[in-house]
Amino acid sequence: MAITYTSGEQVEVYRFSIPATILIPLAAVFLQAFLPLRFRFFSIFDLPLLVTIGFATARRSPLAGLLTGSCIGILQDALTHHPIGLYGISLTVVGFGASSLGIKLDVEHSGARFLLTIFFYVVHEVVYFMIARGLVGLHMEWSWPHELLSGVANALLGVLIFMLLDRVKQRT
């Protein structure tokens, strides 16, 4: 069973060094802006989202999770020509949700991480869709097959990224 319910006492909480906390999200945003120009297929991935989920589930602190998500999202927004806050809000929700779930579930296994990433990818897309359409007035199209396929692709990459993050996280 990949996902197991764990009590608060059993949960291990990790932290990241300051350079890792700053440089990893920056690298994610940078690669997200750079790679799709060279490799068109890469635009299906959302590296900042994966890093937000990875940080949030490792730290297991809702406060840290939402602040991390908020900062990464605002940084991502700043590179677009849309108002700042679209990614900010959705990643804040994802950061909070992922860290809250990280307390309740054992997310050390790849299977659990895979499912968690698909779930939060869809949550992110739903929140983004609602804000972009309702608040900013952008025209958007929703396609469940596309979202689910993208979710699976992101989850596969997410599993690899979480394994890399495991190498830099430190036990508190």
Partner 1 sequence: MDVLGRYRNLIVLVGVLFAQVLGLAVQVKRTTDDESTRLIRIWAVGTVTPLEKALVWAQTSTGNIWHNYFYLRGVRAENRSLKQQVEKMSLERVRMSQDADQARRLQALLAFKEQFISETMAAQVIGSSGSELSRSVYIDKGYNDGIRPDMAVITADGIVGKVLRADPANRHVALVLLIDDQTSGVGALLDKTRLQGILRGTPSGEVVLEKVMSDETVPPGEMVLTSGGDGIFPKGLLVGTVTKVSPGSELFLNIRVRPAADLSKLEEVLVVTKIDERQAEPDQTGATRAIDILADRLPKVPSKPENAVKADASGAIAPGTVVPTTVAPTGSDAKPKAVPAEASAASGTPTAQKKAGPASSSGASSVTSSGPKATAAGTTTVKDSPRPVKATVEPKPQPAVEDSPH
Strand-pairing partners, residue 5, are: 105
74 binds partner 1 (CB under 8 A): yes
| CA–CA separation, 33 and 38 (whole Å) | 10
19 binds partner 1 (CB under 8 A): no
Residue closer to partner 1 by CB (options 115, 123) is: 123
144 binds partner 1 (CB under 8 A): no
Strand-pairing partners, residue 169, are: 16
Residue closer to partner 1 by CB (options 1, 37) is: 37
Burial of 30 per CB tally in 10 Å (0-12, 13-18, 19+): middle
70 binds partner 1 (CB under 8 A): yes
92 binds partner 1 (CB under 8 A): yes
Token digits of residue 100? 């809250």
121 binds partner 1 (CB under 8 A): no
Shortest distance, position 69 Cβ to partner 1, whole Å? 9
| CA–CA separation, 155 and 117 (whole Å) | 5
Closest CA to 145 of 153, 136, 156, 134: 153
The residues of the shown chain that bind partner 1, judged by CB under 8 A, are 26, 29-30, 32-34, 36-37, 40, 43, 48, 62-63, 66-67, 70, 74-76, 78-89, 92-93, 96, 100, 131-132, 135-141
